[in-house]
Structure 1
């Protein structure tokens, strides 16, 4: 990984960097750090073979998220829709306001809907001059093959638990360890768990399990209201626990299948409350969720 990043930085210094990079694997935090470093190298006038200076106004603006030429496209409501991409496209084609290069980072690019991905493809085929687009994804296979074929792929290996914790900044070590366990050692999911709150997630899941095991639909009501991002986070943690339960022979594989269906439906813009209630009803029939 170090050699690959060194080659990327060298290409950036020499203005030979591909206009489209696809970061996949590893941690979103690590991907974000590398994306910002490349943005600094391309725009910092004091960059050397050691990297950007990190102290000039341009470097500081990029790191603080205030540079006008560095933009982000992030998922809303569990997907990146075509409306978002069209707005992003308009901004991308604006003239350079400050800096030598425009850098646009698309986080969770594997959550692009098919229409959004096709719209993105049009930009990739005719990119604006002096523009770098960085797609960040957990799994490159979730990216449209026609986009993959036009990108330079950069694989990020998983960080150790210690490095992942240090990348979070100030965080309770015990809470971080619990989040890492709840995520099944998935750095990105663990980061979301920490941000949302370990105890809140555990409490919600315990109430859901109780409602399902007792087959008591009324006990689901206190679990709402809930937005799509919350529901997706809960379901992802539930899926991790189900996988562990299958290994320990305490959960039937059909239960994991139902949770997976719920995640897929939720990502298709379904109502989160309806998704959770339908999942609960399916699990009522199967005998409930048993994990921990």
Structure 2
């Protein structure tokens, strides 16, 4: 999403607000963009910085080719400063360094922009230093804060920012965008159900690990129906080695959840909502094996397992317990 027009296709409300402010030359001294991962926070911050510095802007749209636009896109503009967490948090020294940088005259103009990614991860001391910075705004300075957790930012900072929410794409929007990028309809349906992040979805389409993960889900379902006595051994020997860390195992559970949701769709006559359309016959066989009540109970067990996985629960034990609950 390199232009305001492209961004408007997925974030119409937020984009319209920003375009109006740029056209009316009423850019705020501080913005707080919040939304889930993949909703376009970085894209908005880059576009806003370009719109501020572009030398060949047409209306609200930066040219994307001038010296300023090119350097902002590459992260190398001397008057656009980026702050990201240093380890697990954004520290006071990072904000102090930013303030020191802003005491100097701009290298090429008096305009300055700073972008703070994961702003909710500021320590208390860092947040208090930033607050003092925001309390004395300069007309030549624009702060851009990005976060997935708006409530993790102290009220006094939020009150000094123009807060703009970025909404997650719905599945139909996501699917259409993925198909326009050349991803097959079948894969686009699955990726749209798994993530709201276009970049993540495109990466999954090229990922051999993910293709094997999907195959393992189908194999586990088959074993549970036809060779249930082998299911636990399969978990130990094939499933756990492939889903080797907690993040991968969460994705494996998500894939299982989608399979059982498809079963619910068939149970209630909503075939058009299927995600695993390429495995429709197998899902239909699953419906013959697990009743609607069985399927609902398994779904609850899976959601419980996903929560436990975020705690200090041994992943293999968790999967073995879930497998036993999936067996009839």
Q: Does 1:283 align with 2:319?
A: yes
1:232 to 221, 243, 247: 247
Structure of larger gyration radius:
2
For residues 15-30 of structure 1, the aligned pairs below 5 Å read 16-25=26-35, 28=38, 30=40
Runs of 4+ aligned residues of structure 1 deviating over 6 Å after TM superposition are none
| Whole-angstrom distance in 2 between the partners of 1:177 and 1:69 | 45
Unpaired runs of at least 5, structure 2 = 1-10, 224-229, 265-294
Deviation at 1:258, TM superposition (A): 2.4
Instruction: Report SS of the residue matched to 1:187.
Output: coil
| 1:56 and 2:66 matched | yes
Which residue number corresponds to residue 260 of structure 2? 245
Which residue of structure 2 lines up, in the alignment, with residue 195 of structure 1? Answer: 203
Give the superposition deviation at 1:26.
6.8
**1:156 — aligned with what?**
166
TM-score, normalised relative to structure 1: 0.67
Question: Is 1:81–2:99 an aligned residue pair?
Answer: no
Q: Determine whether 1:122 maps to 2:129.
A: yes
Q: How far has the Cα of 1:36 moved from its partner?
A: 1.5
Residue number among 209, 232, 241 corresponding to 1:222 in the alignment:
241
1:91-130 to structure 2, matched below 5 A, reads 91-93=97-99, 94=101, 95=104, 96-109=106-119, 112-113=120-121, 116=123, 119-127=126-134, 129=138, 130=140
Decide which moves more: 217-226 or 55-64: 217-226
In the alignment, structure 1 segments of 5+ residues that lack a partner are 266-274
Give the equivalent residue in structure 2 for 1:70.
Answer: 80
Q: Secondary structure at the match of 2:62?
A: coil
Q: CA distance change for structure 1 residues 245 and 52 in 2, over 3 Å: closer, same or farther?
A: same
Q: Distance in 2 between matches of 1:213 and 1:131?
A: 60
CA shift, 1:39, in A, is 0.4
Q: Corresponding residue for 2:46?
A: 36
- The change in CA–CA distance for 1:64 and 1:221 in structure 2 (over 3 A counts) is same
Aligned to 1:254: 301
- TM-score relative to the length of structure 2: 0.61
Q: Per-residue displacement from partner, 1:207-241 (whole Å, max 9, x unpaired)?
A: 58859941554556633765xxxx43551563464
Distance 1:164 1:26 in 2: 18
Aligned CA RMSD, in angstroms, stands at: 4.1
Is the CA contact (8 Å cut-off) linking 2:35 and 2:165 kept in structure 1? yes
Using the TM superposition, give the Cα deviation of residue 47 of structure 1 relative to its aligned residue in structure 2, in angstroms: 3.7
The 3-state SS of whatever aligns with 1:68 is coil
- CA offsets 1:159-188 (integer angstroms, 9 cap, x no match): 423663389xxx5412x8526524526322
Q: Label 1:182 to 1:126 Cα distance change in 2 as closer, same or farther (>3 A).
A: same
Matched residues in 1 for 2:241 and 2:316: separation? Answer: 14
Change in CA separation of 1:85 and 1:43 when aligned onto 2, cut-off 3 Å: farther
Structure ranking higher on relative contact order (CA contacts 8 Å, 6+ apart): 1
- Give the SS at the match of 2:61: coil
* Equivalent residues of 2:85, 2:117 under 8 A apart: yes
Contact 2:32 2:158 survives alignment (8 Å): yes
